[in-house]
Chains A and B, each alone.
Chain A
């Protein structure tokens, strides 16, 4: 563990905590920052799979989607209490991850990419056909999640710090997991599965556990995303969103969860900035993506590490 693994994210978290008081307190900036933090959480959870277990999932947006739709289902039943919404969102996503992961992890390499993509599409089409919750058009929430019946999260600043708290918790959890024996087994199985088996360890349950944990964190991010926008649509589960998440992880670098953190923040902010420049910002963003993958091998974290 070098200073960067702790000091760099600590600096980023401090900056995020201070941002509302340093001239980023308007509602537009806070909305953007909340979005960035939520995607950073999802990217960190995906980093556990890609960087830790070597499982390249192209269906991670479905995890956020399941979490978000759990909020929708409860909202439709007029249940908005956090102590019901949070366990439901995280639990539903963990179950979804367990069911799909149990099948997907039997495969490896390209087949794993394809099968996670297929499960993501299944979730997407299911969401599109839920006419009760708006189908393709999406669903507007009656209100944000309440805490003990108090509408605390309606306050933008309170929501900002709730997101920050969850982000720090997700980062700390993934960092601790990767450093633990669990994480070492995952990484060892990624490097050489045969040797891990020869040591008497079966990689499958470790990978499945990682998949479920990553899914649960992604589900939490989904719950927050639904709250941030107070709107949920099948587009949240689109496979392009999964591609975005994967790019955030690679953009940041695979050295540790701080990479995914930096990658996601950079992604969301650059996307926002380009979108203010031109309607056709993807024409700039696409080549940027290709160039990053081509030349920025260690990601942003690697770039900062060299300096």
Chain B
């Protein structure tokens, strides 16, 4: 394992972490403000990727596709909220889990019915299809750097929105005590709809940005959803700051673990056994990290409700 390879893995890990954060941010706010557990949030990511790919193909431009995918993802999220989710806010977590599970079934299958089961491709934008020379002998794809930058800018905007504006103050108040906020005369339902739509848009943004480097296929959001849940549980439910830190931890652990574990195991085992155990350990690593963090801080790194 050379320093160059490690640097590439760190960059890949950060970039994956940023994508995770964009998905987890909406999830943690929805969870924090309304105590609503939304398994269908990963589907928003998938919808974003499909919208991006389709709109880019229609308009013939990556940028128009990305730009149009955002409002489309927002509208789609609000539509789901009005049609399904709002009927389950007062219900227990079990009902919410099942109802949103139903939404996953429908949308995964719906996407398969409309676009087919084969993965879709979204072309890289012309300007970002090259690479950037980071150091001697290391050419890193500029599109991946762009994702990293766009994610960081979005995270910064989100931080500003949540920590420095009146709307953000209401969201934070809602996350720490929604009934009290409601008693103070704030329309929590409307606030929640905004948070929900915004979260759906962020997840869609992540999906559309990831579309050119991943295969766009039905069910692509399911695995990411589980990771996003790990992120918000580690970070503390309702905490944007926690979600950001946890997303980077999970992204780095996942990426670096996957590339280094088999090599690490080779120190103890013969190559074929090392490859197998290494791969198994690498996929388990983030869950082990989660269990370890929860063992010491049961409410996550940055608990919102005390």
A residues near B, CB below 8 A?
50, 56, 58, 103, 106-107, 109-111, 113-115, 117-119, 121-122, 125-126, 128-132, 239-240, 243, 246-247, 250, 280-283, 285-290, 293-294
Main secondary structure of the interface of B (DSSP, over half): helix
Q: Indicate whether A129 sits within 8 Å of B276 (C-beta atoms), given known contacts A107-B294, A109-B93.
A: yes
Cross-chain contact of A290 among B37, B99, B226 (Cβ < 8 A): B99
Besides A119-B287, A129-B283, A290-B102, 4 new A-B residue pairs in contact (Cβ under 8 A), listed by A number: A50-B94, A118-B230, A282-B108, A289-B99
B residues near A, CB below 8 A?
31, 37, 39, 84, 87-88, 91, 93-95, 97-99, 101-106, 108-110, 112-113, 222, 226, 229-230, 233, 237, 272, 275-276, 279-280, 283-284, 287, 290-291, 294-295, 298
Residue pair A103, B295 in contact (C-beta under 8 Å): yes
Q: In the complex, what's the smallest C-beta–C-beta distance from B101 to chain A, in angstroms?
A: 4
CA distance A117 to B222 in the complex (A): 12
Q: In the complex, what's the smallest C-beta–C-beta distance from B110 to chain A, in angstroms?
A: 6
Q: In the complex, what's the smallest C-beta–C-beta distance from A249 to chain B, in angstroms?
A: 9
Q: Which residues of A contact B109 (CB under 8 A)?
A: 280-283, 286
Residue pair A286, B294 in contact (C-beta under 8 Å): no
Residue pair B103, A111 in contact (C-beta under 8 Å): no
Q: Which residues of A contact B103 (CB under 8 A)?
A: 286, 290
CA distance A271 to B194 in the complex (A): 36
Residue pair B95, A293 in contact (C-beta under 8 Å): yes
Residue pair B226, A117 in contact (C-beta under 8 Å): yes
- Can you give 9 A-B contacts (C-beta < 8 A)? A103-B291, A117-B226, A243-B98, A246-B98, A280-B112, A283-B113, A285-B102, A286-B102, A289-B102
Residue pair B284, A286 in contact (C-beta under 8 Å): no
Q: Which residues of A contact B233 (CB under 8 A)?
A: 111, 114-115
Q: Which residues of A contact B99 (CB under 8 A)?
A: 289-290, 293-294
Q: In the complex, what's the smallest C-beta–C-beta distance from A129 to chain B, in angstroms?
A: 4
Q: In the complex, what's the smallest C-beta–C-beta distance from A234 to chain B, in angstroms?
A: 11
